[in-house]
Amino acid sequence: MENQWWKKAVFYEIYVPSFCDGNGDGIGDFIGITSKLDYLKELGIDGIWLTPFYRSPKVDNGYDISDYYAIDEDYGTMEDFERFLLEAHKRDIKVIADLVLNHTSSEHPWFQQSKSAKNSPKRDWYIWKDPVDSRPPNNWESFFGGSAWEYDDKTGQYYYHAFAKSQVDLNWKNEEVKQAMFSVMEFWLQKGVDGFRLDVINFLKTSDDFPDNPIDEKGKQNHVYDKDQEGILKTIEQICTNVRNKPGKFLVGEVGSEELHILKKYCGGSLLDVVFNFNLGSKKELDSKQFFSELKKMDEEYENDQIPTLFFSSHDMPRHISRFGKGTADQEKIAKLIAVLLMTAKGVPFIYYGDEIGMIDLHFDNVKNMRDVQGLTAYELAKEAGKGEEEAIRIANEEGRDKSRSPMQWDDSIYAGFSDVKPWLPVSSPSVNVKRQKGDPKSLFSHYQNLIRLRKQFPALYDGRYRLLEEKDRVIYYIREKDGEQILVVLNFNDKPIAFPMKDFASKTSTVLYPENKYEIENEPTINLKPYESVVIRL
């Protein structure tokens, strides 16, 4: 199991510019992260996923890399990174680096050489096409909105960008590109990182023929020919083989799909260790039937060594406490319910920074305070379509991703202890902070601590199969089993109390593991659960 340490691990995503400012400039950095490693150790996590920290003009906040071998100066120096890595490893915390293999910044020297002339040695490192009747080569749309093709006046051709026009897609059919990226991965593996989170990994291939994508009945483009193309799995297998030359490295892929039949193709065996299961993690409503359906499908459709991931927030989506709680009085109860599911269901769990204290989404009244290219593009397109300012701001808030990227809230001070100067993004809810919650046994932070501790204590919770997985009357319940150890988890998704029948489960040897000292279950016909309450029982 040593080389598959990640099966037992609890991961924690750090959005680097928003976690902790160590040098007082309002932007998170490695000095700041290093100063909070004891906090993360106290929380109980085993691995950190770092969002991109490489040199970048940050049009897409680091997912547009201009130098794969340098630390962006906003985040510190290479020495700061190396010290962070050393201190994390001293605390038995692994570090996973986010890596963008699909595209580079338009400021990367490779692209600057590529666009210099049609006969440039780096021309074929990117995807260039001639105009068709003075128009782009096809109808492909960027996933951020607008055309995926940008015209270059100097050479008279279009270059392809699946995302922002400053994020230029690499041509993975070119062997030199592949070897260059293998060298990048080797550099960071030599530094000591424990693996990679691979960004939009199913976009590395496009159709060779570049046909138009179909348009559905609502006028929306179906991205049929610009992702999940033939040959992509072979390429990913080569990437995985290259990384696994060093034992014990972990590879998690972001596959741009919410369809399980697509996601499952990319993991297990010689492919990625896991992929992010957006089929469950991106649900917009607290719907027990939808949750159950996806848990059931992941258990039934994943085969052999395929393992799902469990997450409900990230830097690319609204925080789940805001999605599911919607600002109601039950918001914290719902957050605790999701935490129990996250730490007891089958899969590798990922906590998004701040979720352990209940941080909520950030809302913008003025587009000038926004930083995210996706939100800003949505605003511009709305204005071009004739929308008024109020409607354009509403659309920008809906489409933008800054909402979940606000600074980590450490204390009650004006900028929540993140910084002594105005942070790069506003603070969302400073009254919700670490200082208030640490040491409070009833807090969400303590709740996460206890659940992580519980998960590590019982193999059935990190490596067990489902002996039972059911949903009834907005209650999801399951039994995880490993080497004779059986643990029952009951989650009440109702906004009212429920009585859960125990006659088929409890025995004289049954023990309530969570909440501690709450229930006596011997000879009791039911357990009475409050709204959004959960119980974990060792049978």
**Extended beta strands in 473-525, E state:** 475-482, 485-492, 498-501, 511-514
Which DSSP letter does residue 51 get?
P
- Report the C-alpha gap between 428 and 398 in whole angstroms: 16
254 in catalytic set: yes
**Burial (CB count <10 Å: 0-12, 13-18, 19+), residue 276:** buried
Q: Are 370 and 390 in contact (CB under 8 A)?
A: no
Burial group, residue 520, by CB count within 10 angstroms (0-12, 13-18, 19+) = exposed
> In 59-107, which ranges are E strands?
67-71, 94-99, 103-105
Spatial distance between the Cα atoms of 138 and 157, rounded to a whole number of angstroms:
13
> Cα-flanking dihedrals φ and ψ of residue 157, to 5°?
-130, 165
> For residue 244, which amino acid is it?
R
Q: Is 367 helix (H, G, I), strand (E, B) or coil?
A: helix
Dihedral of CA atoms 11, 17, 22, 26 in degrees, nearest 10, equals -150
> Taking the alpha carbons of 194, 345, 527, 473 in that order, is the dihedral positive or negative?
positive
* 254, 273, 372, 471: the active-site residue: 254
The catalytic position among 29, 199, 228, 372 is 199
What is the amino acid identity at position 348?
Answer: V
- State CA 313 to chain mean position distance: 7
Q: Return d(Cα 476, Cα 283) in angstroms, integer.
A: 16
Asked whether the CA dihedral 203, 209, 210, 216 is positive or negative, the reply is negative
β-pair partners for 251: 196
CA angle 324/330/335 to nearest 5° reads: 55
Q: How far apart are the first and last CA of the chain?
A: 26
Active site residue 169: no
- Distances in whole angstroms, Cα of residue 342 to Cα of each of 11, 188, 309, 360, 448: 11, 30, 9, 18, 10
| Number of other CB atoms surrounding residue 70 within 10 Å | 14
Can you read off the two tokens belonging to residue 311? 């997450």
List of residues 6+ apart from 252 with CB closer than 8 A:
49, 96, 195, 196, 197, 198, 272, 273, 274, 275, 276, 309, 348
Task: Give every CB contact of residue 496 below 8 A, 6+ residues apart in sequence.
Answer: 531
Q: Catalytic residues, which ones? A: 199, 254
